[in-house]
Amino acid sequence: MSSFKTALANFRRGLTSPSMTSTVLALAIPLVLVATAILIGDRLIRGGHYEYLMSDPFDVYAKVGHEVMEFQASDRPGAVLLGDSLMVYCVDEDLLPDIVKETSGVAEIEAHLLATPNQSTYEMAAIVDAADLSPGSVVLVGLSLGVVSKQTGSEPESILVKILKNPRLPFQSAVLDEEARLAGVKPPFRTGIYAFDNAGFYIARKTVFVKHLLAGPAPYGDPLTAPWLSHVDTPEFHAQERAALSDLVEAYSANADKNFDVLARMIERERDSRGVDFVIAQAPINPGWYDLAEGAAFFQKFAADAEAFAQRVGARYVSVSAGQNWSREDFFDYEGHLKSPAARSVCTETVASAAARELRTPS
Amino acid sequence: MRRAWPNAAVIGQVTRGVILGLLLTVAILEMAEVVGDVRLFRYQDF
Residue A228 has a pLDDT of 87
DSSP A35: H
Residue B44: pLDDT band with limits 50, 70, 90: very low
> Is the Cβ of A225 closer than 8 Å to some Cβ of chain B?
no
Find the CB nearest B16 among A6, A14, A228: A14
Q: Sign (positive/negative) of CA torsion A62, A129, A338, A162?
A: positive
**A14–B8 CB contact, under 8 Å:** yes
Q: How many Cα atoms occupy the beta-carbon half-sphere of A80 within 13 Å? A: 30
- Helix, strand, coil shares of chain B as percentages rounded to 5? 60, 0, 40
- Mutation target vs B (from A5, A19, A24, A159; most B CBs, 10 A cutoff): A19
pLDDT in tens, A280-300: 999 999 999 999 999 999 999
> Is the Cβ of A168 closer than 8 Å to some Cβ of chain B?
yes
pLDDT at residue A61 greater than cutoff 70: yes
Looking at per-residue pLDDT, the higher value among A198 and A3 belongs to: A198
Q: Which residues pair with A331 in a beta bridge?
A: A338
Residue A134 has a pLDDT of 92
**Strand ranges of the sheet holding A277-282, from the earlier edge strand across to the other edge:** A110-113, A78-82, A138-143, A277-282, A316-319
pLDDT at residue A217 greater than cutoff 60: yes
Rounded to the nearest angstrom, the minimum Cα separation between A309 and chain B is 25
Query: What is the mean predicted confidence (pLDDT) over A336-351?
Result: 94
pLDDT at residue B46 greater than cutoff 50: no
Tell me how far apart the alpha carbons of residues A16 and A69 are, in angstroms, rounded to a whole number.
Answer: 47
pLDDT in tens, A306-321: 999 999 999 999 999 9
> Is the Cβ of B35 closer than 8 Å to some Cβ of chain A?
no
pLDDT in tens, A21-53: 999 999 999 999 999 999 999 999 999 899 999
Find the CB nearest A205 among B28, B40, B46: B40
Find the CB nearest B24 among A29, A117, A118: A29
Rounded to the nearest angstrom, the minimum Cα separation between A4 and chain B is 8
Residue A26 with chain B: CB contacts under 8 Å: 16-18, 20-21, 24
Query: ipTM value of the model?
Result: 0.82
pLDDT in tens, A241-286: 999 999 999 999 999 999 999 999 999 999 999 999 999 999 999 9
